[in-house]
Amino acid sequence: MGFCHLSNLYLQRPIWFLISLVFLLLLLNGRVVLSDPNYLIGLGSYDITGPAADVNMMGYANTEQVASGVHFRLRARSFIVAQPQGNRVVFVNLDACMASQLVTIKVIERLKARYGDLYTEKNVAISGIHTHAGPGGYLQYVVYIVTSLGFVRQSFDALVDGIEKCIIQAHENLHPGSIFVNKGEILNAGVNRSPSAYLNNPAEERSKYKYDVDKEMTLLKFVDAERGPVGSFNWFATHGTSMSRTNSLISGDNKGAAARFMEDWFQHSGGGNLYSDDGVADGIPRRISNIIPDSHDNHHKLLELAASFQSPPGRPAKKILSVARRVRGALRQADKPGFVSAFCQSNCGDVSPNVLGAFCIDTGLPCDFNHSTCGGKNELCYGRGPGYPDEFESTRIIGERQLKKAVDLFNTASEKLNGKVDYRHSFVDFSQLEVTLPKQGGGSEVVKTCPAAMGFAFAAGTTDGPGAFDFKQGR
């Protein structure tokens, strides 16, 4: 059972952006040379980790999943694209299960107080990566805060503060620049967790698609006219459920990991070839985040070397060198955005990162194909990630698979976006939509949608997080 099945209950405001930029790209001796950039680009990044203990996590709707530490910290990453004398748009990607209407409202209030009507609900979009390992309690609807036993101010404040600050960073870092776009497929980072349900679609519908899930990644590469590449945002569909419903550590899951990996890769290589570094195992820098640290044979020698270092002589602390000043300065430097990379979520619906398939935890045999059950019980059927039984390893592997494709798209991006900056934003009441349905024997009829409700599908859950009370999929 999980909140990811409640999309009809919490309808995030659909924001449809049509962003395109004009620039001239010249390639000379392998270096990018830009001239006359017509647009401004800015990127920001800020910590949004929030409370890491005694707070229920958002995603699986599991009352027993309470945070007790940090796997790795969460961040909000933003980009702003603007015309010097025209429109501008803001997109923020959160290491969180989802955005919240209440969070968005408060962020917009702060931006209006600071910038007037420059940033409003019309041109600011906030999205989540759908990790199921972040602190909950920050949404405004009762059904989403039941398992967190109500509203959690600490979770809410961390999100609002972090989003505001990362947008401020992006605004203050606006420089002339250009944007490239590239696309490619990732075949091993997501599978359909409800394949039997997909087969119920008409054959003519299924024949339109190459796979039973969307496997395309779309990447935007941001290049500053003076400094060169400064960041990238990409969209790819796979759930943030590499970390299981029993995990108690705050984590950005596979997408949060991939973002850290790519930022580390760029800092380490300067945007060079991912496969050229001698310290790379299977094409991936293993240093990145150390989710599963490697053991070192020379550990004792490293300890001896560390013990041999001598500290320099001290000096009296003056006002400017006070401990508080130095700590604040270090924190400011840590939050100063360098290269910003975001791995955003797209149409992840039934796309699972547990690519090995679903198996029964009691017998080890595959689950029943049509109902995702084991001996008639759905509670025993779980999907397995590529690092099974180690979910930390699964998180790393799925993150690295997204990283590999993102780096390839980043390094080969050459298509130029042209045109003016624009955006679209609409509110849709999904409880009052008219739908035309074909009738048996010919003709059609118009029907209306109704208010959302939690049904059997919600109670049954999925193979990423099975439900309870013997509810079954496919019934």
Q: pLDDT tens digit string along 177-186?
A: 999 999 999 9
Band of pLDDT at residue 302, cut at 50, 70 and 90: low
Mean pLDDT within 375-379: 89
Distance CA(394)–CA(145), nearest Å, equals 28
pLDDT(41) > 60:
yes
C-beta separation of 474 from 15 below 8 A? no
DSSP 3-state of 202? coil
Mean pLDDT within 74-88: 94
Band of pLDDT at residue 39, cut at 50, 70 and 90: confident
Determine if residue 71 is labeled as part of a ligand binding site.
Answer: no
Beta carbons within 8 Å of 332's beta carbon, 6+ residues apart: none
- Angle of helix 253-269 relative to helix 391-412, nearest 10 degrees, comes to 50
Band of pLDDT at residue 175, cut at 50, 70 and 90: very high
How many C-beta atoms surround the C-beta of residue 60 within 10 A? Answer: 29
Nearest to 90 by CA among 170, 144, 154: 170
Band of pLDDT at residue 273, cut at 50, 70 and 90: low
Residues in a beta bridge with 216: 185
pLDDT(28) > 70:
no
Nearest to 35 by CA among 26, 27, 44: 26
pLDDT(277) > 60:
no
Residue with tokens 């509203």: 151
What per-residue confidence (pLDDT) applies to 306? 57
Nearest to 120 by CA among 104, 131, 134, 133: 104
Distance CA(44)–CA(338), nearest Å, equals 8
In the chain, the amino acid numbered 442 is G
pLDDT(26) > 70:
no
What per-residue confidence (pLDDT) applies to 2? 64
Q: What pTM does this model have?
A: 0.80
pLDDT(123) > 60:
yes
Higher pLDDT, 392 or 473: 392
pLDDT(223) > 70:
yes
Determine if residue 371 is labeled as part of a ligand binding site.
Answer: no
DSSP 3-state of 233? strand
What per-residue confidence (pLDDT) applies to 470? 75
Mean pLDDT within 304-311: 59
pLDDT(438) > 60:
yes
What per-residue confidence (pLDDT) applies to 24? 24
How many C-beta atoms surround the C-beta of residue 54 within 10 A? Answer: 10
Band of pLDDT at residue 297, cut at 50, 70 and 90: low
Give 41-87 as a 3 state SS string.
EEEEEEECCCCCEEEEEECCCCCCCEEECECCCCEEEEEEEECCCCC
Band of pLDDT at residue 453, cut at 50, 70 and 90: confident
| Lowest pLDDT segment from 109-118, 161-170, 218-227, 461-470 | 461-470
How many C-beta atoms surround the C-beta of residue 47 within 10 A? Answer: 18
Beta carbons within 8 Å of 70's beta carbon, 6+ residues apart: 49, 52, 249, 250, 251
Distance CA(294)–CA(412), nearest Å, equals 31
Band of pLDDT at residue 284, cut at 50, 70 and 90: very low
What per-residue confidence (pLDDT) applies to 9? 33
C-beta separation of 220 from 236 below 8 A? no
Band of pLDDT at residue 319, cut at 50, 70 and 90: very low
Residues labelled as active-site residues: 352
What per-residue confidence (pLDDT) applies to 183? 98
Band of pLDDT at residue 176, cut at 50, 70 and 90: very high
pLDDT(34) > 70:
no
